[in-house]
Amino acid sequence: DQQVKQNSPSLSVQEGRISILNCDYTNSMFDYFLWYKKYPAEGPTFLISISSIKDKNEDGRFTVFLNKSAKHLSLHIVPSQPGDSAVYFCAASGYGSNFGNEKLTFGTGTRLTIIP
Amino acid sequence: DTAVSQTPKYLVTQMGNDKSIKCEQNLGHDTMYWYKQDSKKFLKIMFSYNNKELIINETVPNRFSPKSPDKAHLNLHINSLELGDSAVYFCASSQEEQEGPAGTNTGELFFGEGSRLTVL
């Protein structure tokens, strides 16, 4: 059973517009969430994260929103650029603040295509 | 049924030992991968393997070797374990698109639950 779900396998967005990628989770023990970006033939690279004590974290063009009651998080990219075309993975971990030692649970990814 | 399963989930062993982590996928995918997660939650690809080709990340020591008895399995063997090998290792699988340019991949990657290796 998928504990972290990304229900949209793909998404196309016009350059300059906002891209919104969604992620849902089922395990209420998750308390730390991450987004990864993956280009073809490379491993996922860390993009942005959020702790469950927050509902928003922003880093440049990237903002992650967390809705704990709905067990939902989203990644907003604004404005979208051609270099943002990649596969985005949502991941989650839990059981405390020593995040460096906690295993991740991944979603299956959403392919984002930015149309020039 | 778990789509991608890894065993064992936890492994504690002494330095110098040889160990294996097994991975099996029941999705019918033709490409499998091993990733290493470091303490900062960065993922580094170690190997990707399909029916045609084994791609090795050059930074991976040759003490690490993938073994694929069939399309549904990709095991990771590690010889002469070192302290720095302690990490979480993820197996993953994906399906190469049948249509379109060769090598096109849909991008969906199914991860296993991870195997935490601790070397003492």
A2-51 pLDDT tens trace: 788 999 989 999 999 999 999 999 988 888 898 999 887 666 778 998 98
Inter-chain touch B43–A45, beta carbons under 8 Å: yes
B114 in reach of chain A (CB within 8 A): yes
All residue ranges of chain B with pLDDT < 70 are 1-2, 39-42, 52, 56, 58, 96-108
> Which chain A residues have any C-beta within 8 angstroms of a chain B C-beta?
9-10, 34, 36, 38, 40-46, 49, 87, 89, 91, 93, 99-101, 103-106, 108-109, 111
Inter-chain touch B44–A43, beta carbons under 8 Å: yes
Burial-class residue B105 by CB neighbours within 10 Å (0-12, 13-18, 19+): middle
Inter-chain touch A9–B107, beta carbons under 8 Å: yes
Architecture category of domain A4-115 in CATH: Sandwich (2.60)
Confidence (pLDDT) at B102 = 38
Domain locations in chain A as residue ranges? 4-115
Average pLDDT (A89-114) is 73
Looking up residue B57, the CATH number of its domain turns out to be 2.60.40.10
Average pLDDT (A77-92) is 94
Inter-chain touch A87–B109, beta carbons under 8 Å: yes
Structural domain span for residue B24 = 4-119
Task: Provide, as residue numbers in chain A, all residues whose Cβ is less than 8 Å from the Cβ of B44.
Answer: 43
Task: Tell which wins on pLDDT, A90 or B40.
Answer: A90
Choose from B29, B38, B111, B116 for mutation: most chain A CBs within 10 A.
Answer: B111
Confidence (pLDDT) at B103 = 38
How many domains does the structure of chain B reveal? 1
Confidence (pLDDT) at A55 = 94
A41-63 pLDDT tens trace: 666 778 998 988 899 999 999 99
